[in-house]
Structure 1
Amino acid sequence: MRMRDLEGWTIAFDLDGTLVETAPDLIGTLNRMLAARDIPAMPVEAAQHLVGHGALALLRHGFQEAGAAWDEAGAPALLEEFLADYLANIAVHSRPYDGVVETLERLAARGALLCVATNKRTDLSVALIGALGLERHFAVVCGPDRVSARKPDGAHVREAVAMAGGDPARAIMVGDGAPDVQAAKGAGVACVVVTFGYTPIPPADLGGDVLIDRFGELEAAIAALVADQALRRASKA
């Protein structure tokens, strides 16, 4: 039997670009809205950097980059249109990255609490996670509407970990972009950065503690970070 060596630790995950490749469905919704206004579609690879800052930011910058007029006064109605279409098509092409399910299962078997800290609205996050059959892995799914401040504020990570029943002093953030790294730093926790996500900034320049190229590398990265914290605590004793 595997020793529960991660007992007492909480791993907080970003969602889009970290656990799940969501760009095809998010950009699909954006493109249907553009097409309805006779504006050319954006290729997924040209727009995936827009993912990860929330639906309104994706919509605003997506319209602007496509050359469409953006009226901030009309943003609420456009956002509702976007969210309705996206919810109806939330898992058409979105899939967990290779190794996600197996890694989550192994981390849980080793005693880790798992949660999601995402800038995607909670109801959309829960719908996506449920559609992909991932809900059993997480103690809580925490979008920006469930916390006092969204990423890049550290409160998002601290409060998500606390809602999961974990200790914010023994937590690790896993993400793909600047908001994840900045939130981890603000919460005083280490951050593992995946290199396959949606950041427009090179992953190596984000300032995370460890970079991984595949989800299968996450366990080793977490073990190294946990060991490092144990050494630092021992040196202070």
Structure 2
Amino acid sequence: MAERDLEGWTIAFDLDGTLVETAPDIVGTLNRLLVQHDLPALPLEIARNYIGHGAVALLKQGFTAAGMAWDEAASPALLEAFLVDYMAHIADESTAYPGAIEALDGLAARGAILCVATNKPTDLAVALFRAIGLEDRFAAICGPKSVSARKPDAAHIREAVLQAGGDPARAIMVGDSITDLDAARATGVACILTTFGYTLTPAAELGADALIEHFDALPAAIERLVGGGQALRRASNA
């Protein structure tokens, strides 16, 4: 039986680009909308880095990159079309990153509470996790409407941790972008970033407390932050 050395700690995860490789399905929906508007589809390797700031930001960046001036008046209709299409294709190609499931199960066995703080709408996040068999691994799955403010506001992580039954003073954020890092800093918690996620600025340049290139490295990164007291110092200085 695993030692429950993480009892009392909550690990909050971002979703897109952190736990799940969702870019093929998200960009697929974006490209279908672009083609419907007689615009060229965007390469996956470019459009994937527009993910993480919400669907409206993705649409704005995508349509602008495809050569169409962004029309704020058209935003609600485009957003609705995006959400409908994406829900229909939410797990066509999306998969958990290698080692993610094993890492989640290992952390839970050691007593950690697991939750999700994502800027993806909660219904989409739950539908995706359900489709790939991850829903039951989290004590709370919190998109923007499940909390009082979205990342990078501190309220998102803090309230997600509380909804999971955890203590925000004993939490660590795992994400992939500056949005996650800024939210963690605002909350006063340590932040681990993946190097394989969605970010225009390389994760190594963002100044996170730790970086992981594979989920196999996550337990050790958490141990260093908890054991060295860095995670608690972050919280006490918030």
TM-score category by the smaller chain?
A: over 0.9
Q: Secondary structure at the match of 2:169?
A: helix
Instruction: Indicate the residue corresponding to 1:121 in structure 2.
Output: 121
Structure 2, unaligned stretches of length 5 or more?
Answer: none
Question: Is the CA contact (8 Å cut-off) linking 2:10 and 2:171 kept in structure 1?
Answer: yes
**Offset of residue 69 of structure 1:** 3.2
Q: What root-mean-square deviation, in Å, do the aligned CA atoms of Structure 1 and Structure 2 show?
A: 1.4
**Offset of residue 228 of structure 1:** 1.5
The residue correspondences of 1:1-237 to structure 2 (distance < 5 A) are 1-229=1-229
| Deviation per residue, 1:40-61 (Å, 9 max, x gap) | 1001101111000011110111
Counterpart residue type for residue 160 of structure 1: A
Counterpart residue type for residue 152 of structure 2: P
Question: Is the CA contact (8 Å cut-off) linking 2:172 and 2:189 kept in structure 1?
Answer: yes
After TM superposition, where is structure 1 displaced by more than 6 Å over at least 4 residues in a row?
Answer: 230-233
Distance 1:232 1:112 in 2: 15
| Deviation per residue, 1:126-147 (Å, 9 max, x gap) | 1111111001110010001111
Counterpart residue type for residue 148 of structure 1: S
Structure 1, unaligned stretches of length 5 or more?
Answer: none
231 and 199 in structure 1: CA distance in 2 versus 1, 3 angstrom threshold: closer
Q: Secondary structure at the match of 1:98?
A: coil
Distance 1:231 1:133 in 2: 30
Kindly, what percent of the aligned residue pairs are identical?
64
17 and 230 in structure 1: CA distance in 2 versus 1, 3 angstrom threshold: closer
127 and 232 in structure 1: CA distance in 2 versus 1, 3 angstrom threshold: closer
Higher mean displacement: 13-22 or 222-231: 222-231
Q: Secondary structure at the match of 2:221?
A: helix
Q: Secondary structure at the match of 1:11?
A: strand
Distance 1:133 1:45 in 2: 27
Q: Secondary structure at the match of 1:130?
A: helix
Distance 1:23 1:209 in 2: 25
Q: Secondary structure at the match of 2:228?
A: helix
Distance 2:48 2:203 in 1: 15
Report the count of equivalent residues. Answer: 234
**Offset of residue 232 of structure 1:** 6.9
| Deviation per residue, 1:63-120 (Å, 9 max, x gap) | 1111123210111011000000000000001110000111100000000000000000
Question: Is the CA contact (8 Å cut-off) linking 2:23 and 2:44 kept in structure 1?
Answer: yes
TM (normalized to structure 1)? 0.96
